[in-house]
Amino acid sequence: MTDHHSSERTLNIESRLAQIGSINEPTTGAINFPIYQSTAFRHPALGKSTGFDYIRTTNPTRAVLEQAAAALESADAGFACSSGMAALQTIFALFGQGDHLVVSLDLYGGTYRLLERILSKFGVTASYVDTNDLEALEKIVQPNTKAVFIETPTNPLMMVTDIQAVATWAKSHQLLTIVDNTLLTPFFQRPIELGADIVIHSATKYLGGHNDVLAGLIMTKGEELSAEMAFLHNSIGAVLSPTDSYQLMRGMKTLALRMERHEYNATAMAKHLVDHPQIAEVFYPALPDHPGYDVQNRQSSGNTGIFSFKVKDARYIEPILRSIQLIAFAESLGGVESLMTYPTVQTHADIPTEIREAIGVDDRLLRFSVGIEHIDDLIADLDQALEVARIEVEGV
């Protein structure tokens, strides 16, 4: 928020994004923060440090990214990790034998796999629930529950959770609220301002934004939690390299422009598909008849560029994925290039079929990460693929 009466005027988010890592280096005049490739840092004397000792603990390039990321999410500290999964693993290391977590039902497949196949070995259990249903939350909470973990909107079904309501409920039970904010980014949604304690990002997606860097970010609120996370981040060591830290900052500089275009394109595309005769259903919170529309509008300033849709006939899927040209059939989301994913066999393959189908991830569902190409070209590409599918399935 801008306060024009204050002498210390806070910059708007677009300006803060564009200026990430910008410096005025006195000897060279360099605009951009350099990549410090150094793993070790010389100590001036015994007991003295420049603030940098060893790369895993901290590195100047990574530190600039972490401070910028923390400020964007209104957090007290930021931690850059080697992937979104590394960030999740680091967060989950807060918990141990006998601890229980309450988790969003429609969850990123990798997070589900981490909880069920790895955290379970360390005695951490999880219950999956519609986190928008406070009565269901109340029923599932146990004396050993330590945190609630939510994604909003979820991927791929775009279910929206009221972050403030969940965080308030969680506080009343002394639980931490952890939010995976990958799909909206701090440009559109800032969970810590709504009461969350920890925000996690797969920065591989919108923050990096160009389908060319693997990274994760953790942001924490509060001194004690931030200190504990710093300990885990350093001890586990799944940290981001200086080069990737630079790459990520470079991507983040254009986040505002990209998110505005992603939202514009996804909204236009979703509206186009709602009226399409071969499409059964479109899942996108920007559409007024989406059940999460009001909550989404209240807690976020915009919409993600991802939506999902169900085709009327599962036999359309194969020819569509074979026929799209501009849109790539690939796993991932959030980059400038449009990608189409088939969750049942790709991102959500590790979720048992019964659970997957119970929540609606079935063989007619496609997920579309709408890029920043011209909307007319995207519509033309998908329309021609749908037409190929129609002719092959229905003849003529």
Ligand X SMILES: *Cc1c(COP(=O)(O)O)cnc(C)c1O
Q: Residues in the site for ligand X, rule: CB under 6 A?
A: 83-85, 108, 110-111, 151, 155, 180, 182, 202, 204-205, 214, 216
In whole angstroms, the minimum distance from the beta carbon of 146 to ligand X comes to: 20
CB nearer to ligand X: pick between 98 and 237 = 237
Catalytic residue among 99, 106, 162, 180: 180
Q: Which run of H or of E encompasses 68? A: helix 60-72
Residue 361 corresponds to which tokens in the numbers above?
């991830």
Q: Which of 205, 253, 258, 356 is catalytic?
A: 205
Is 253 in the active site?
no
Distances (CA, A) of 349 to 99, 143, 255, 270, 352: 27, 32, 30, 25, 8
Instruction: Indicate if 48 belongs to the active site.
Output: no
CA distances from 268 to 10, 149, 264, 294 (A): 33, 31, 6, 19
C-beta of 204 vs 226, nearer to ligand X: 204
**Is 205 a catalytic site residue?**
yes
* Cβ at position 243, least distance to ligand X in Å: 16
Q: How far is CA 393 from CA 102, 278, 312, 320, 344, in A?
A: 43, 11, 11, 11, 21
Nearer to ligand X, 319 or 335 (CB): 335
Min separation Cβ 148 and ligand X, Å: 16
Question: Which tokens go with 283?
Answer: 């899942």
Q: What residues are paired with 139 via a beta bridge?
A: none
| Catalytic-residue membership of 316 | no
Nearest to 195 by CA among 216, 174, 221, 213: 221
d(CA 335, CA 150): 23
Q: How far is the CB of 77 from ligand X (least distance, A)?
A: 20
Residue nearest to ligand X (CB): 84
Q: Which is nearer to ligand X, 216 or 285 (CB)?
A: 216
Question: Which one of the listed residues 62, 99, 108, 190 is annotated catalytic?
Answer: 108
Catalytic positions: 56, 108, 180, 205
